[in-house]
């Protein structure tokens, strides 16, 4: 896959934390993966909006069932601690 060098302006704290996680040599790959994930998220959000426009909103009961089946990251651990 071809790459292109770019210049970005990032929040200092965010950049420092990312460098702690991946080191300075792995930063490009880390940002590339984050950008790919965000683009996928945006495409899915667009698809959901399109489906909602065609079929109406998702029922609250269905959304709650989905949230129970697939909790957000960290939510599962929080539920266990509160139980």
Quickly list DSSP for the chain.
-----------HHHHHHHHHHHTGGGHHHHHHHHHHHHHHHHHHHHHHHHHHHHH-PPPHHHHHHHHHHSPPTTHHHHHHHH-
User: What is the average per-residue pLDDT within 62-78?
Assistant: 83
Tell me the HSE value of 39 on the side-chain side, using a 13 A CA sphere. 6
Give domain limits for the chain. 12-82
Q: What is the mean pLDDT of the chain?
A: 90
User: What is the average per-residue pLDDT within 45-49?
Assistant: 95
Query: Looking at residue 74, what is its pLDDT?
Result: 79
Res. 28: pLDDT tops 80: yes
Residue 56's pLDDT band, with cuts at 50, 70 and 90, is very high
CA 37, CA 15: separation in Å to the nearest integer?
18
């Amino acid at each position: 896959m071809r790459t292109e060098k770019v210049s970005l302006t990032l929040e200092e704290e965010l950049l420092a934390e990312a460098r702690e996680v991946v080191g300075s040599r792995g930063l490009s790959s880390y940002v590339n993966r984050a950008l790919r994930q965000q683009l996928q998220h945006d495409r899915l959000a667009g698809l959901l909006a399109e489906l909602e426009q065609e079929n109406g909103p998702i029922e609250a009961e269905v959304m709650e069932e989905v949230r129970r089946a697939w909790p957000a990251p960290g939510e599962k651990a929080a539920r266990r601690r509160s139980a």
